Structure 1
Amino acid sequence: HILKGDMRLNIRLIGFLYGIMVIAIVGRSVLWSSRRSGSKKGGGQTALLALALVVIGYVGQLFGRIIQSAVSRQREFLADASAVQFTRNPGGIAGALKIIGGFSKGSRIESPNAHEASHLFFGTAIRSLFATHPPLDERIRRIEPGYSSRVNESESLSETVPGGRFDSSVSMMAADSGEARQYIGHMTPRHVDYSSQLLSALPGKIRDELDDLLGATAIVCGLLLDSDLKERDRQIKVLKKTAPVEVVRQTLILEKEIRSLKPVFYLPVLELAIPTLRGMSAAQVAGLKRYIQVLVEADGKLTLFEFVLEKIVTHQLGMVYSHSKRQTIVKRMDLLLPQMVNLLSVLAKSGNKDIQEAEKAFKAGFEQLRSAGVTRKESMSETVSFKEVDVALNRLALAAPSIKRVIFDACCACVLFDTKVSIPEAELLRATASVMDIPVPPFLFHPIKS
């Protein structure tokens, strides 16, 4: 709507209609004044003139509202078409309209003055000749020509997804690479169900703190605390020198709940905290980065999860406050081969202790690069440092969208070549998607108990 100038057009329509209404208001005022004055001289002519102004004003407003509503309905169709054009996902737009139509309260505006700005709403505020939005059925059929059902706003869809019990006692999960790639940028009821189960399984105290800025900061710090008590004490000591007292205190308050979390929860909890952390000021973001740095460096070693956490937080919050120079987009896969070799090597080794199995995983991932014109063969790197992985991810983030898709397909094929994925593999795969700004819904894995 904004891109097509609908907001500007709607404001002009409001001014136009009020201009017509002014004619009726003037006529009504003159008519009222002539009645109060009681003057017979010229009073009849004045009353007729006033009455004519009232009629012209109200009739003009009537036809003006009809035109306004007709224009608004056509702009809705244009907005739907533009949404499909930009997202390349007609199913997503149609699905959203079906959900709106299925809510028990629909999108009806109950205010008696709703008609005054009804063309500015996103849903059908009123239903009459002056309706500013086309029927949902018609909008859906224009997006999905084969749609034959009927959306009935009086019939309530389930607004909550029934979820079973989330099983957190897993270290390996079964998955299919094709399924993981299929749902990029697309949420289904199964994803919502999975997310609902996961949220329900989180401790209530953690869920409550995720919406609070101090709580989300403390959760990120708590996720980095070492299980070894000596290392943990060293981390708390350096954190006290860097962070405000309230951050340290809240971290210690939540430490018990965070420590009780299973590894399968770590990355989802971090991702749930990111939207809240985006509400930080630039100074608070810089502070959080310092807290993460001192906690990671306190024990003199870097784990895969620590690397993933630092990378996701830095990238996601950097999108809000970093104003780096525009960099050149890489449109050729062969220019990114060294970085892909390093990334695939780490992914292959993170889920396979056996070197031969790791090499098979690497080859499965590298084979996906053929679709981007890669012809030469590469071997898995024997050693890859976290610094090299960091450089690789930063470089791959500059790839063109079509190349990013190939990169992520290769990563999925590498991780899931044996149809099993470990927690570290899943964490690194999610970090890769996050850094490259690929919208990936929760992976629908099937637990394999260790």
Structure 2
Amino acid sequence: KLSHPAAGEFSHMFFGQAVGFFFNNLFATHPPLNERIHRIDPNWQAESVQRSANNEAAAARKRNQHASPSDDPAAISAFAENPIATGSATSPASQQAAASSDYQAVDILESAGHISRAQVEAAVNIKAALPADILTAAHEPYAARALVCCLLLDRDQLIRDRQFAVLQAHCDKPTYQSAQYLYEQVRQQERRHLEILDLAMPALKQMSESQLIRFDHLIAALIRVDNKIELLEWSLYNVLLLSLRPSRVNVLSPKRTRNLLPMPSPLACVLSVIAYAGVYESLYESSAPSSERGERAVLQSFEAARRSLQLEQIQLVPRSRVTVGQFIAALAQLARTRPSGKQRILKALLAVTLHDREVRPLEMQLLRAIALSLNCPLPPVDSPYK
């Protein structure tokens, strides 16, 4: 039974704000939203449900362990019964690491629709680690806007100066001054940008429709200052739109695709982006230097996804071809996949992310933004191997 004294204070980080918009449309395997909310009721008997969930998870892992690629093809559409391909020539250590990351992916996906004690405690720790000025700003409508602007300010001084000029020209004086004051503190919280955005979302949602439109235009102007869109910028902007103006997001479509096979290229593109994000600081064209060790790490991560999906035909997309436009178009196609297919996609993305037993800030931010774009929100994901 969830009885953490801070549960109510932090519940918006799981149900409200940046991920809450999509919790009504989670996979059919998860309970309805009202049942998940009911789980924090002190009178709710959680023990029996938790035992059942644990039994199902153990059964799923057992099926994974003993399944083989020759199993019924219909089973590949079911997330819990998706086996790990064993046809690759990998070392026992690599196979053990792959199995470990695969099972960890199962655990994360199974927790996606639930508020656990561990998640509440993680939220408490996140808040405790953030500067008081950021926490105060997150709860004030105008300062919250400044906080979001700071998340998008560039590391390069020349570009940042131009962005501040945009802020000065297009927003009120208090917001501009707050952005100047908060920038250095926000810059030091690179790993927690999405969590800061989560905390600010209640204040941002107080804006009127006309204010939302102006804020949308301001954020877009900040991103366009350097005439390019980094994937980090896209991920933050995408989460903002999904939370505040979902009708503007073009990656969602009511049309569904029956399975993954007709679209290997979009799938390969998105998996490649996450694989590169685990190695390189920047993914914009060829701006980040390559290395033999880095490229080998990318290939190993991508191979983990291929094993998870059992789709041998997908190939790593060269980094020089990974553009934001191609990436967004790929997500638009994957968003049409049926829920069971989306489960497999997320499992593969998690396999890539957890393959090297480390979760980088860029990986985490992209992973959660992609999950939101697929209408399948995930909780914050840190390295499980600390």
Whether TM-score is above 0.5 comes out as yes
- After TM superposition, give the deviation of residue 281 of structure 1 in Å: 2.4
Question: 1:330 is matched with which residue: 257, 266, 281?
Answer: 257
Per the alignment, residue 312 of structure 1 pairs with 239
Task: Give the total of aligned pairs.
Answer: 296
Cα pair distance change 1:203/1:178, threshold 3 Å: same
Letter in 2 for 1:389: F
Look up the SS of the partner of 2:359 in the other structure: strand
Per the alignment, residue 404 of structure 1 pairs with 342
1:230 correspondence with 2:168? no
- 8 A Cα contact 2:252 2:373, kept in partner: no
- After TM superposition, give the deviation of residue 380 of structure 1 in Å: 0.6
1:421 correspondence with 2:359? yes
Question: 1:367 is matched with which residue: 307, 313, 335?
Answer: 307
1:347 correspondence with 2:283? no
Q: Spell out, residue by residue over 1:239-293, the C-alpha distance to the aligned partner (whole angstroms, 9 max, x if none).
A: 223333343233223234323x321121211222234323322222221222112
Matches for 1:143-154 after TM superposition, within 5 Å: none
| CA distance in 2: counterparts of 1:248 and 1:217, whole angstroms | 10
Per the alignment, residue 178 of structure 2 pairs with 250
- After TM superposition, give the deviation of residue 187 of structure 1 in Å: 2.3
- After TM superposition, give the deviation of residue 97 of structure 1 in Å: 5.3
Per the alignment, residue 296 of structure 2 pairs with 356
- 8 A Cα contact 1:222 1:251, kept in partner: yes
Letter in 2 for 1:276: A
- 8 A Cα contact 2:358 2:385, kept in partner: no
Cα pair distance change 1:95/1:310, threshold 3 Å: closer
Look up the SS of the partner of 1:266 in the other structure: helix
Per the alignment, residue 203 of structure 1 pairs with 131
Matches for 1:172-321 after TM superposition, within 5 Å: 176-259=104-187, 261-319=188-246
Q: Spell out, residue by residue over 1:33-92, the C-alpha distance to the aligned partner (whole angstroms, 9 max, x if none).
A: xxxxxxxxxxxxxxxxxxxxxxxxxxxxxxxxxxxxxxxxxxxxxxxxxxxx977449x9
Instruction: Report percent identity of matched pairs.
Output: 25
- After TM superposition, give the deviation of residue 220 of structure 1 in Å: 0.7
- 8 A Cα contact 1:195 1:442, kept in partner: no
1:439 correspondence with 2:377? yes
1:100 correspondence with 2:38? no
| CA distance in 2: counterparts of 1:145 and 1:291, whole angstroms | 49
Look up the SS of the partner of 1:253 in the other structure: helix
Cα pair distance change 1:247/1:416, threshold 3 Å: same
- After TM superposition, give the deviation of residue 387 of structure 1 in Å: 1.2
- 8 A Cα contact 1:217 1:247, kept in partner: yes
- After TM superposition, give the deviation of residue 310 of structure 1 in Å: 1.5
| CA distance in 2: counterparts of 1:143 and 1:193, whole angstroms | 21
**TM-score, normalised with respect to structure 1:** 0.58
Matches for 1:360-399 after TM superposition, within 5 Å: 360-370=300-310, 374=311, 377-382=313-318, 383-399=321-337
- 8 A Cα contact 2:251 2:335, kept in partner: no
Look up the SS of the partner of 1:421 in the other structure: coil
| CA distance in 2: counterparts of 1:199 and 1:422, whole angstroms | 20
| CA distance in 2: counterparts of 1:295 and 1:94, whole angstroms | 38
| CA distance in 1: counterparts of 2:168 and 2:143, whole angstroms | 17
- 8 A Cα contact 1:180 1:444, kept in partner: no
- 8 A Cα contact 1:94 1:143, kept in partner: no
Which runs of 5 or more structure 2 residues have no equivalent in the other structure? 1-26, 53-99, 281-293
**TM-score, normalised with respect to structure 2:** 0.67
- 8 A Cα contact 2:242 2:249, kept in partner: no
- 8 A Cα contact 1:186 1:441, kept in partner: no
| CA distance in 2: counterparts of 1:231 and 1:183, whole angstroms | 40
Look up the SS of the partner of 1:328 in the other structure: coil
Look up the SS of the partner of 1:100 in the other structure: coil
Letter in 2 for 1:438: C
Cα pair distance change 1:145/1:192, threshold 3 Å: closer
Letter in 2 for 1:380: L
Cα pair distance change 1:399/1:300, threshold 3 Å: same
Structure of higher CA gyration radius: 1
Highest RCO, 1 vs 2 (Cα 8 Å, sep ≥ 6):
2
| CA distance in 2: counterparts of 1:320 and 1:271, whole angstroms | 19
Look up the SS of the partner of 1:391 in the other structure: helix
Per the alignment, residue 16 of structure 2 pairs with none
